[in-house]
Structure 1
Amino acid sequence: MTRLIAALLAATFATAATAQDAALGTWQTEVDDGAFAYVSMTPCGGAVCGTITQTYKADGTPYQSENIGRQIVIGMAPKGDGTYAGQVYRPSNGKTYTGKMQVSGNALRLQGCIAGGLLCASQNWARVK
């Protein structure tokens, strides 16, 4: 009985990890307020979180932003078929929004929404690695 429970738990956690695999890795953001970043997407509990690891001016020149190390994708829980729901933090205005994310291959669409998801701003990110 103990082996059966262990096998069921392992299968459950393996399924959750597999659902997250599409979003894991390093992604390049779009230019926002004159700069872009590399964001490392990693597991956090049963969700995915993203932390800024490098920052660049719009022309590609690296610079040391105070936002390096800041988590901007927060608790994006997989909903199936490459979609996620959680929160998004925008460093340029210091606000956290309801977040949606869609991953398809090497493309990620991130949305920050207000008014119950009626008004959303979005960015398209590209996988770096």
Structure 2
Amino acid sequence: MIRTFILAAAMTLATTASGFSAEPIVGNWKTASGETAAIASCGGSYCITLKTGKHAGKRIGNLAGSGDSYSGEITDPANDKTYSGSASISGSSLKMQGCVLKVLCKSQTWTRM
């Protein structure tokens, strides 16, 4: 009887804990150039920091949003220019887009690691 109660309590806790998962954007992503970028929660938004490559340790973005749609700013680490940006998630892919004046845009797709 006690064993059944303990097993039921453990299953309830496991089910409840899985309901509190992180935002889909949080985690490590492989960029189009093959580097690793980490996206983490930071002060009500999500910060993008390069973990590998020539610009490792550099913060390259700040996005806000939830679910599968985010917007904010993205910096090109090669020329240090910042653009208005957006991100959308579909499965294990993250489509990043940066625009100048919302007219000239470039995009790339990252994959979850």
Whichever of the two has the greater Rg, that structure is 2
Residue 77 (structure 1) aligns with: 64
Deviation at 1:105, TM superposition (A): 2.1
The one-letter code of the counterpart of 1:48 is Y
- Whichever structure has more helix as a proportion of its residues is 1
TM-score using structure 2 length? 0.76
- After TM superposition, the runs of 4+ consecutive aligned structure 1 residues lying more than 2 A away are none
Deviation at 1:81, TM superposition (A): 4.3
Alignment of 1:1-129 (within 5 A): 21-31=23-33, 36-55=34-53, 65=54, 67-74=55-62, 76-78=63-65, 80-115=66-101, 117-128=102-113
TM-score using structure 1 length? 0.67
Aligned residues: 94
Indicate the SS of the match to 2:51: strand
Task: Name structure 2 gaps, 5 residues minimum.
Answer: 1-19
Change (3 A) 1:49 1:99: same
**CA deviation map 1:88-119 (0-9, x unaligned):** 0101111010011101221100011011x122
Note if contact 2:23-2:67 (Cα within 8 Å) is conserved in structure 1: no
Q: Percent identity?
A: 33
